C-alpha cells in the first residue's frame, strides 16, 4: 500500500483515552495560544511595536510593526520553553519530541516575523512614494 493511501486511512485516536490525551496536547506549554491573546504580554507587545514603528508612522506601518512585535515576543516565549526543555534533557529526561515540536513553533514564528518585516518595509516605501508625489 502506498504512503498516500496509508495516510488517508489514518484517523487519529479512536479510544476515549486516546482522544482525551491528544485533546491536552495544546495545553502542555501554551504555545498554541496566540501571543496577542495573553493580556500579560500586551504591554510588552505595544511598547515594542511603538519602538519599531517610530513616531508618525502610517497605519500600515504601525500594523506591520505590531505583527513584528507579536512574532518577536512569541519567539522569546518559545525560546524560554526550549531552554527549560533543554535543561530537562541535560538532567537525563527524554524530551526529544518536545524539542522537535518547539522547533516547529519557532519556524512558524520566524516566518511570521519575516513576512511582517517585509510588509513593514513595503509600507515605508509606499509612504515615501506618496510623500514624493505630493
pLDDT tens per residue, range 38-71: 888 999 999 999 999 988 888 888 999 999 999 9
DSSP letters, 10-74, are: -----SHHHHHHHHTGGGTTSTTS-GGG-TTTHHHHHHHHHHHH-TT--HHHHHHHHHHHHHHHH
Cell numbers representing residue 59 in the block: 497605519
Axis crossing angle, helix 59-90 with helix 96-133, rounded to the nearest 10: 160
Reported as a single tens digit per residue, the pLDDT across 72-94 is 999 999 999 999 999 999 999 99
Intra-chain end-to-end CA distance of the chain, in Å: 66
Amino acid at each position: 500500500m502506498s504512503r498516500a493511501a496509508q495516510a488517508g486511512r489514518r484517523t487519529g485516536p479512536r479510544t476515549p483515552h486516546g482522544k482525551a490525551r491528544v485533546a491536552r496536547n495544546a495545553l502542555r506549554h501554551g504555545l498554541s495560544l496566540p501571543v496577542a491573546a495573553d493580556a500579560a504580554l500586551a504591554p510588552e507587545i505595544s511598547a515594542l511595536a511603538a519602538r519599531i514603528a517610530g513616531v508618525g508612522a502610517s497605519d500600515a506601518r504601525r500594523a506591520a510593526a505590531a505583527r513584528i512585535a507579536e512574532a518577536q515576543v512569541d519567539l522569546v516565549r518559545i525560546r524560554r520553553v526550549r531552554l527549560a526543555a533543554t535543561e530537562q534533557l541535560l538532567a537525563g529526561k527524554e524530551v526529544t519530541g518536545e524539542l522537535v515540536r518547539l522547533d516547529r513553533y519557532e519556524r512558524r514564528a520566524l516566518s511570521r516575523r519575516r513576512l511582517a518585516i517585509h510588509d513593514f518595509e513595503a509600507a515605508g516605501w509606499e509612504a515615501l512614494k506618496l510623500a514624493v508625489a505630493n
